[in-house]
Chains A and B, each alone.
Chain A
């Protein structure tokens, strides 16, 4: 399985993500740059966190108009795997590969801390090695993470099992207090209805080795690479 990690001007989690794939998962991985158009030799494309194009206009808005973004749309259309983390998630919503949008945090602050996530659907390519309802501790680091979808679309996401993770407290309750950014229905990650494009605000690449304080993100990567 061959990975591509997308690099836009302003990406800053690209090396962390590359490191986890190459050194922890021991899989082939290349950086692909914003001006490239060919993803044909890859099986999975990861859009990493950061501040692509300085978050100008809106987070992810300019990256979504780059040549590489066009290639990602084509790649996803062929049913290949796409994972967007943090700014990558924002880019995927701007591309309409994922539903909804990510708005400024309700408290208008950058929030950088560990959060608890509850696995809402463990039958997906990204979560199949986890248990349903399992609680993960993974950090977030964002200013614009308030997930928003209109109510009717939210209902459809729920019905189709497209909600991957919710922000919860340590006991697994999706309370307002456990919601770090005001996301609708405490949503931290979603997938498309075809089940091959995934987006999440928390950073699994920052929680994939014990030395980093948590390895709860590791099972997501293992899910991705296992049949």
Chain B
């Protein structure tokens, strides 16, 4: 088995109200930040040889509204 982490965030160019609210909060607290996005994380263990890309693209994310990265741990 291998451990895999899928990082999911709102697609580039899509308005992310959560990210915007967090960004405002950080600015209000004196931090110089921009482009804040709030996404989600899915961690799983899979059998070696499983098609992780297919698993993610077909069953975990919606490619119309989300971008993702796969990290092997």
Contacts and interface: CB of A to CB of B under 8 A. Distances in A.
Contacts of A103: 14, 65
A69 to B, nearest CB: 12
B31 interface: no
Contacts of A104: 17-18
B59 A65 contact: yes
Interface in A84-135: 94, 100-101, 103-108
A106 B15 contact: yes
Contacts of A101: 62, 64-65
B17 A100 contact: no
B19 to A, nearest CB: 11
A107 B18 CA distance: 9
B25 interface: no
24 contacts: A57-B60, A58-B62, A61-B62, A65-B59, A94-B62, A100-B64, A101-B64, A101-B65, A103-B14, A103-B65, A104-B17, A104-B18, A105-B17, A106-B15, A106-B17, A107-B17, A108-B17, A108-B18, A108-B21, A148-B14, A148-B64, A148-B65, A150-B64, A182-B15
Interface of B: 14-15, 17-18, 21, 59-60, 62, 64-65
Given A104-B17, A106-B15, 5 more contacts: A57-B60, A61-B62, A105-B17, A107-B17, A182-B15
